[in-house]
Amino acid sequence: MTAARSAAAANPFARAQFLISCADLAQLPRDEQPEIAFAGRSNAGKSSALNALCGHKQLARVSKTPGRTQLINLFEIPGLGRFADLPGYGYAEVPAAMRKSWGRLIGGYVEVRTNLRGVVLIMDIRHPLTDFDEQMLAWAQSAGRPVHVLLTKADKLGYGAAKNQLLQVRKALAAYPQPPTAQVFSAQSRLGLEDAQSAILGLLGLAAPASQS
Ligand SMILES: Nc1nc2c(ncn2[C@@H]2O[C@H](COP(=O)(O)OP(=O)(O)OP(=O)(O)O)[C@@H](O)[C@H]2O)c(=O)[nH]1
Ligand SMILES: [Mg+2]
């Protein structure tokens, strides 16, 4: 078995490849394949999480300048489905008009995309449940889409502090009518990588989600 093949066998998402960038809903390809959306406020670590999950260094662009990703970027994983990287925002200087157009695009996407099986919501573990996250959760809940939360950059906190944040966030999420699941994660240390992959496979209906620990 070649090195690339054994990596693909170990990582179900290793064959992910870029498909298309869409500036509006009309540009999305036909919704015939199961899709998982990745959402997170700007700079939360969404591109890094996607790259780690797929075992690529540069699949989704990691930027040091927040707010660069303004399009829905679709990735195809042959035989499994698609990942949709949704644009984030999160800074006060984002103009109201831009927030409005973001709301139309992302709110519309979550509502109408019939093949959307679930949302992976990425939050910086040090700053969880921002207004952005609450908005995403509200849209996902009203459209009946399950949500799995990755509390990323967990390498920035000690074990106890990370565990405590996880418990606090789970407590807050339990108040939602369809409570999302949550775990700690780090793109840098790869903490929680396999749990996240199992959770995503679970959303795709391909395997049982990992038990929460
Ligand atoms: N320590 C640490 N840093 C991380 C982690 N994930 C991302 N970062 C850093 O956080 C910054 C933002 O990461 P990105 O992955 O570009 O974040 P994003 O959410 O895609 O940001 P935008 O696309 O700009 O909205 C970068 O400097 C990353 O190197 C992590 O798990 N641990
Ligand atoms: Mg990004």
Which CATH number goes with the domain that contains 163?
3.40.50.300
Tell how far the Cα of 66 is from the centroid of ligand 2, in angstroms.
Answer: 8
Q: Is 73 in the pocket of ligand 1 (CB under 6 A)?
A: no
CA dist list (Å): 204 to 73, 81, 119, 170:
19, 8, 11, 22
Report yes or no on 190 lying in a domain. Answer: yes
168 compared with 23, residue with greater pLDDT: 168
Whole-structure pTM value: 0.92
Report yes or no on 171 lying in a domain. Answer: yes
**Which protein residue's CA is at the shortest distance from atom 13 of ligand 1?**
45
Tens digit of pLDDT for each residue in 40-74? 998 899 989 999 999 988 887 765 555 555 789 99
The two tokens of residue 200 are 């995503």
**Which protein residue's CA is at the shortest distance from atom 7 of ligand 1?**
45
Sheet hosting strand 81-85, strand order edge to edge: 17-22, 72-77, 81-85, 35-40, 116-124, 147-152, 181-184
Domain with 65 in it: 3-203
Atom of ligand 1 nearest to the CA of 42: 25
Atom of ligand 1 nearest to the CA of 68: 24
Tell how far the Cα of 63 is from the centroid of ligand 2, in angstroms.
Answer: 6
Report yes or no on 107 lying in a domain. Answer: yes
**Rounded-to-integer distance, Cα 81 and Cα 54, Å:** 13
Report yes or no on 212 lying in a domain. Answer: no
Interval 68-81 mean pLDDT: 85
Interval 16-38 mean pLDDT: 92
The two tokens of residue 78 are 């042959």
**Which protein residue's CA is at the shortest distance from atom 1 of ligand 1?**
153
Report yes or no on 113 lying in a domain. Answer: yes
Query: How many structural domains does the chain have?
Result: 1
> 140 by DSSP, 3-state: which?
helix
How remote is the C-alpha of 53 from its chain's centroid?
A: 10
pLDDT at 6: 53
